[in-house]
Structure 1
Amino acid sequence: MTATAARPESTVSAWRSPLTSYYLLASATGILVLVGLAVVLSSSSIASIRTSEGNAYAGFLTQLIALVVGMAALIVGSRLPITFWRRIAPLVLYASMGLLVLVFFAGEAVGGNQAWIRIAGFSLQPSEIAKLGLALYLGVVLSRFRDRLTNPKHILMPGGLMAAIVLALVLLGRDMGTAMVLVVVVAVAFWVAGVPARFFGIAAAVGGAGIVALIFSAQSRVDRIHQWATGSCTDTAECWQQTHGTWALASGGLWGLGPGMSREKWGWLPASDNDYIFAIIGEEFGLLGTLLILAAFAMILIAVTRIVTRSTDRFVQIAGGAIGAWIVVQAVINIAVVLEFLPVTGVPLPLVSSGGSSLIMSLAAMGALLAFARNEPGAPEALAARPSVVRRSLAVLSRGRRG
């Protein structure tokens, strides 16, 4: 009875630990990155053979380079103080805005979206930088004016104005999927900051009218939404991607076909290493693999909720909530598209899909969240009390020798 009673108590104490958020974020990041790397290697190999003079590893090597850069950003960023993230916020936002403007003069159009810049042989997507920059910037300005956010002037200046400019620049590049994610980032930042609910009603009405206007400004968007809403396909090409994505998930069953054994990656499923990588995960690793991905994003959601509710720093609460909304909501949109719950929008699965800009900035964002988690009440003391890796290793070796 005593041993049985001790287990729930130890579980509760572990949950209440100030380091729970930190370990949840670190574990979820590790799961998503490792699964993503394995599936990118599998799903990108066929396309790489066709486009890179027979080199099956070309796409994977690009992803590997991005992973190294992103992990460096995560490791360094997680160890930096909160003051660093406050100071760098305006610089990141202004740099991303400058690059978004540069897209219109020297950018590349992919899939109808003008959103990429070619630098030294690599494609850079400035809107990915804007996600992190806007989340951090709103954390700075909204925490500064937190006692005056019942006044429309202080809501719009400067946070609302900068958010509107970034959204306008992204929409000018016709990237509606990224714009949707940015709207969620802004909404969550203002919500956590304590903006009254009536302002969200006004913003929803204005935003809804704008979304309708944007949808009807492009016939391709109207066609996609009509096909999704009605389930009708007058042309096989209209629903080719959704159909093959569903087939990939269905053929995986419970256990999957096995690593590298996808059939749909052989030219049947477009964007199999990017927007539709979740379908390949289901095909190769089955239902259990997809549930693992969902569990990892749930861990991030729980950790971010803990950071927002436990932290005493308003900047950390607002910026952490906005970053968490970006990662989790973008994942929900991506997965919902693959499952045909939403029309095709073209957003990658964070930390999993191929794409250097997305992976690097997602890992940098996780570094910021880890830094915030390391500064939860009681976390610095708990981290200082932990024995170092070297000491733990020496202790294990000494026990082995005595045994």
Structure 2
Amino acid sequence: MTQVARPPRSEPGGSRGLAARVSLGRIFTPPSSEFVLIASTALLLTIFGLVMVLSATSATASGQFDTALKQGVFALLGVPMMFLVSRMSVAFLKRLAWPALILAVVFQLLVFTPLGVEDAGNRNWIDLGFSSVQPSEFMKLALALWVAYVLLRKQARLGIWHHVFIPVIPVAVLAIGTVIAGNDLGTAMILVLVLLGCLFFSGVKLRLFILPMIVGTGAVLAYAFSSEDRLRRITATCSDMSLYYGDCYQSIHGIWGMASGGIFGLGLGNSQEKYGWLPAAANDFIFAIVGEELGLIGCLVVLALFTFFAVGAFHIIRKTDDPFIRVAAGGITVWLIGQALINVGVVIGIFPVLGVPLPFMSQGGTALLSVLLACGVLLAFARTIPQAERGKVAR
């Protein structure tokens, strides 16, 4: 009988060494250009925002370091969390979609308990003792992940209207309704933008996309005009100086701040509007302080950073083959860029005052934390881009 030659046995140590080398290779794989672009612009905008919050609150001795310190603490928490979330797998983010939305809605409902705090007619805050938190900020990210996950499971049926609308529209209306119940029109508008952005990038047929867009726009307008006080503030013509001490006081001073800055600005820390003239100078009107102190050049730098951020995010949407990544990244991008454009439009007088903060830069620890977490999700998606490109090359 002839003996059959056996292949040489591989030593256990050799297989372990190969696995270790593969793991190290994955760790030290250079990040994609999208990852670098999104991470760098997010960090620059956050640092820029901390500087401007410190400058905008320096007019009062009591709030000079206290407010900026709180914002800095949230930044120190949010930046590591952003990179921690960036290490999460896409599969884990998919499993997180339902729990995240449920927790976000429950968290938002706490504003209607004794923990809730009302500010300027909006009941959208809860008091935790050491800080106030705005739960609706976390709902933006949760809604984007949830819609992306639901539409992923219906990918082959997006041409049928009831598969597109159910359960997306009823659940989204319920979630947004908890925000509207607190009279926060600005945040409700951003949540509608997130929903429409997810539907647009999911590949839903245009005729099916137009209907929710019309319904969403109509619902926002109906709510905006349902109150006489709200209608008066929205339709106020701020070119009429007779409304200076009324509904246009904040808008007029925001425009004056931008105008007085000129091209080069008055210099960092030299704003005049922050000395009690411009309400919410460190919050919704932080862009006016940028224009006054750093001029047109400073405003263009901020807009350029948001443009680079959008380029990196849209590259992820364009290059990925995963429908979940495309839809979730689309919703997050529409949220951040759309909110930035609305905030700038309010400051320069295109839109009425809506109470929408400037992402990364406005004072507000909850808003900053939610935005950095959303950036972490985008970075997690960006890590899949080199793999997707290698797959395309191989095919």
TM-score range, shorter chain: 0.7 to 0.9
Q: Following the alignment from structure 2 to structure 1, what is the Cα–Cα distance between the partners of residues 217 and 336?
A: 23
SS at match of 2:265: coil
- For structure 1, which segment, 110-119 or 98-107, has the greater mean C-alpha deviation from structure 2 after superposition? 98-107
- For structure 1, which segment, 23-32 or 181-190, has the greater mean C-alpha deviation from structure 2 after superposition? 23-32
- For structure 1, which segment, 19-28 or 107-116, has the greater mean C-alpha deviation from structure 2 after superposition? 19-28
SS at match of 2:124: strand
**Aligned 8 A contact 1:63 1:355 in 2:** yes
1:340 alignment partner AA: G
Q: State the partner residue of 1:44.
A: 57
SS at match of 1:46: coil
Q: State the partner residue of 1:24.
A: 37
Q: Following the alignment from structure 1 to structure 2, what is the Cα–Cα distance between the partners of residues 144 and 356?
A: 34
Alignment partner of 1:238 is 2:247: yes
Structure with the largest fraction of helix: 1
Q: State the partner residue of 1:253.
A: 262
Q: State the partner residue of 1:12.
A: none
1:66 alignment partner AA: F
Alignment partner of 1:312 is 2:357: no
Q: Following the alignment from structure 1 to structure 2, what is the Cα–Cα distance between the partners of residues 151 and 357?
A: 38
Q: State the partner residue of 1:88.
A: 96
Q: Which runs of 4+ in 1 moved over 4 A?
A: 229-232, 378-381
Q: Following the alignment from structure 1 to structure 2, what is the Cα–Cα distance between the partners of residues 288 and 274?
A: 21
Instruction: State the shift of 1:235 in Å.
Output: 5.0
CA offset digits 1:335-367 (Å, max 9, x no partner) = 000010111100000001010110000001011
Q: State the partner residue of 2:130.
A: 121
Q: State the partner residue of 1:401.
A: none
2:341 alignment partner AA: V
Q: State the partner residue of 1:292.
A: 301
2:76 to 68, 80, 98: 68
Q: Following the alignment from structure 1 to structure 2, what is the Cα–Cα distance between the partners of residues 234 and 255?
A: 30
2:338 to 329, 332, 335: 329
**Aligned 8 A contact 1:96 1:127 in 2:** yes
**Aligned 8 A contact 2:244 2:252 in 1:** no
How high is the TM-score relative to the length of structure 1?
Answer: 0.85
Q: Following the alignment from structure 2 to structure 1, what is the Cα–Cα distance between the partners of residues 227 and 177?
A: 16
Q: Following the alignment from structure 2 to structure 1, what is the Cα–Cα distance between the partners of residues 43 and 346?
A: 24
Q: State the partner residue of 2:231.
A: 222
Q: State the partner residue of 1:99.
A: 107
1:274 alignment partner AA: N
CA offset digits 1:84-116 (Å, max 9, x no partner) = 221222222111100111211231111211100
**Aligned 8 A contact 2:254 2:278 in 1:** yes
Change (3 A) 1:379 1:288: farther
2:195 to 172, 186, 193: 186
Q: Following the alignment from structure 2 to structure 1, what is the Cα–Cα distance between the partners of residues 388 and 40?
A: 17
Q: State the partner residue of 1:198.
A: 207
1:32 alignment partner AA: L
Q: State the partner residue of 1:390.
A: none
Q: Following the alignment from structure 1 to structure 2, what is the Cα–Cα distance between the partners of residues 300 and 207?
A: 27
CA offset digits 1:134-187 (Å, max 9, x no partner) = 011111111111111222221122222221111111111111101111111101
Alignment partner of 1:270 is 2:279: yes
Q: Following the alignment from structure 1 to structure 2, what is the Cα–Cα distance between the partners of residues 372 and 233?
A: 51
Instruction: State the shift of 1:56 in Å.
Output: 2.5
How high is the TM-score relative to the length of structure 2?
Answer: 0.87
Change (3 A) 1:186 1:72: same
Instruction: State the shift of 1:121 in Å.
Output: 1.9
Unmatched tracts of structure 2, length 5 or more: 1-29, 391-395
Instruction: State the shift of 1:32 in Å.
Output: 0.7
CA offset digits 1:178-203 (Å, max 9, x no partner) = 11111111011011111111123322
Identity in percent: 39
Q: State the partner residue of 1:146.
A: 155
1:63 alignment partner AA: Q
Q: Following the alignment from structure 1 to structure 2, what is the Cα–Cα distance between the partners of residues 380 and 260?
A: 47
1:280 alignment partner AA: I
1:354 to 343, 359, 363: 363
Residues matched between the structures, number: 360
CA offset digits 1:306-340 (Å, max 9, x no partner) = 11110111111110110111100000000000010
**Aligned 8 A contact 1:114 1:173 in 2:** yes
SS at match of 1:179: helix
CA offset digits 1:206-231 (Å, max 9, x no partner) = 33432332122222221122214875
SS at match of 1:227: coil
